[in-house]
Chain A
Amino acid sequence: MRVGVVALQGDFPEHMYMLRRAAEELSMGVEVIPVKGPHHLRDLDALVLTGGESTTIGLLAKKAGLLEHLRDYLSSGVPALGTCAGAILMAKEVRDAVVGPTSQPILGVMDISVVRNAFGRQRDSFEADIDVEGIGRVRGIFIRAPAIAGVWGGAAPLAYAQHPRAGRVIVLAQQGPLIASAFHPELSSTDLHRHLLGLAKK
C-alpha cells in the first residue's frame, strides 16, 4: 500500500512516523511517500494533509501546481486525513476567529465550515480526552486549533470536545473517505492513522 503525505510545510515527519508505526501495529506493508508536486500524486491508496500554517501550505500548493490536482484527487474517492491546517484546507468555508474572512487558497472538498484559532492563541492550546465514534477514546492535542463550526450535506460529526470557553464543539468530521481533524493525532497515538489505513484497505 502507498500512502502520500503532503510535505510542503508543517509536521509531515510526525505524520510519516505515526503512519509507519500504525502500519507496523497492523502488520501491513505501507510505503510512505512525501508529496511535493503533482507528479507524486500517482497510485496512492491514501493521503494525509498535515498540520502547519494553512496559509503557507495553500500558497505553496498553488505555486507548485498541486492545488487543482489535490482537489481532483480527493474528489476521486481516495481516503484522506487532514489535521488542523489540513482540515482547514479541506473545508468549503474558512474564517478566522479574530481577523474574520480569509482569502487564503483552499481545496474546499468537504461540506464543513471551520473557524481558525477558535480556542484562542498558543497560550490557550490544550490537551483533552476525546471520544471518537467507532474508534474510542483518544488524546486530543489542540494547537492554535480550528473548530468545525458546521457540517452539512455528506459530512457528519465524529467527535466533540467540551471546552470551558468555546463550549461543545465538533472536532472531528467525516465525509465518505475524507476525515477532518481539528487536533493532532500525529502527536499522540496511532488510532486515527490506523483508521485511515483501514479505510484504504477497503
Chain B
Amino acid sequence: MSVSTSFDVLERVRDLFYGLLDARDRLRSMGIEWPPRLDGVEIGTVKVKVGFQAMFRNGVIMDVTNVEQAQVAERAGAVGVMVLDKLPYDVRKAGGVARMADVKVIEDVMRHITIPVSAKVRIGHYYEAMILEQIGVDLIDESEVLTPVDEQHHINKWLFRTPFVNGARELCEALRRISEGASMIRSKGEAGTGNVSEAVKHFKAINQAIRDLQGHRDDEEYLRDYARRCQVPLELVALTAKMGRVPVITFAAGGIATPADAALMMWLGADGVFVGSGIFKSQDPESRAAAIVLATAHWDDPETVVEAQRMTSEKSAMLGVDIRTLKPEEMMQTRGV
C-alpha cells in the first residue's frame, strides 16, 4: 500500500495535535515561525517527512561508529547509516548512561558518504534532537537503546522538520509515536543481543492487531474504543484499519544478525531492516553487510537468499545473547512505551 494515501490524515493529526496544545501560538510568541518557511518553497511538510522513508523500502540501515564503517556500509549497498557512540552490544556490556554520539563523528560521517545519515537521541531529550537537526542529520532515532531522560513523555516530533523514527512493541505504541509526529516506526526487538526473537514477537503483535482492526473497519464503536485504549486520535486508528498496515514505513530492528534473519523480517511484513551490532560485531562485516542487503531486497526469491546466506559463515556471526537470561532491568524494550 502506498504511503501517499496516509498524507491527508497525518496532516490533520498534526493540526489536531497543535490545536490541543496551543503549541503553534506558544512558538509564535517565542518568535519561531511554524510551519517553517523558505522563500517560495515549503519545507518540513508531512509529504517530505513521511515520503522520505518510502525511499528506504526494501533497504538496510546499518549501525556504524566511525567513517570507515560508514564507508563499508555504503559500498555494501546500505540505504543509510545510523551513527552511534557504541554499538548496542557494547552499550549493553558497558552499562552506565548511554548518550547521543559525538557531534564531530556524525559530521565526519556526513562529509564522507552520499547516503542518508541518522543518529540516535535519548527518549525525551529535546535538545539532543535540536543539535542533530542543526547539524543536518537526515533521520533522528528517539531510541530506547540510549538511557531515557524523560520517563513520562517522548519528544514532540511535529516541531522538527527532520523526520523521526521510533521503536514500538505493538500497534498502540506505534500509533502513539505517530500521533506525536514520528514519520517512521521500527520494531524495538531487544537490541544488541543478536537474537531476532523479540523483533519477531513485536511484528507478529502488530500484524495481529492490524488484522483485528481490518475486521472491524466499519465498526466505529470498536475503532473508537481501540483509539481510547491506545490514547490516540480515532482518525489514525481508522486510517490504519483502511490501509491494512502501519500508516508510515515500518522497519524491523533488534537482533538481526544474518541474511536469513533479514529475509524473515521482510516476510513478516517489514518494509526494510535496521542492523545494529549484527554487522560490525561479526568477523566478516564487509561480506555480511552485502549479503544482508541482497537478502532484504530479494527476500521473496529463495535462491537469492541462499546465495546471500552463502556469503556469510555462521562461525563468523556474532555470538549473541539468550533473551531468557536477561534480568528485567537489563531489557531495553520496556523503556519509553
Contacts and interface: CB of A to CB of B under 8 A. Distances in A.
Q: How large is the interface on B (under 10, 10 to 19, 20 to 34, 35 or more residues)?
A: 35 or more
Nearest to A184: B51
Contact of B113 (A13, A17, A64, A99): A99
A52 B272 CA distance: 12
A35 to B, nearest CB: 13
Given A99-B114, A121-B136, A125-B52, A60 B293 contact: yes
A128 to B, nearest CB: 4
Nearest to B294: A63
B40 A163 contact: yes
Contacts of A117: 114
A68 interface: no
Nearest to B36: A123
B298 A36 contact: yes
25 contacts: A10-B57, A12-B58, A13-B1, A17-B4, A18-B4, A36-B298, A51-B54, A53-B56, A55-B77, A59-B77, A64-B298, A84-B55, A98-B110, A122-B139, A124-B43, A125-B49, A126-B43, A126-B45, A127-B43, A127-B45, A128-B41, A143-B51, A144-B138, A164-B39, A187-B54
A123 B161 contact: yes
Nearest to A14: B2
Interface string A107-135: 00000000011001111111110000000
B103 interface: no
B42 A60 contact: no
B48 A127 contact: yes
B200 interface: no
Contacts of B162: 122-123
A47 interface: no
Contacts, number: 154
A16 B221 CA distance: 34
Interface in B40-95: 40-45, 47-49, 51-52, 54-59, 74, 77-80
Nearest to A121: B136
B112 interface: yes
B57 A56 contact: no
A10 B42 CA distance: 24
B275 to A, nearest CB: 14
Contact of A56 (B2, B59, B110, B139): B59
| Interface-central residue, B116, B137, B297, by most chain A CB under 10 Å | B297
A16 B111 CA distance: 34
Contacts of B79: 9, 52-53, 56
A57 to B, nearest CB: 9
Nearest to A63: B294
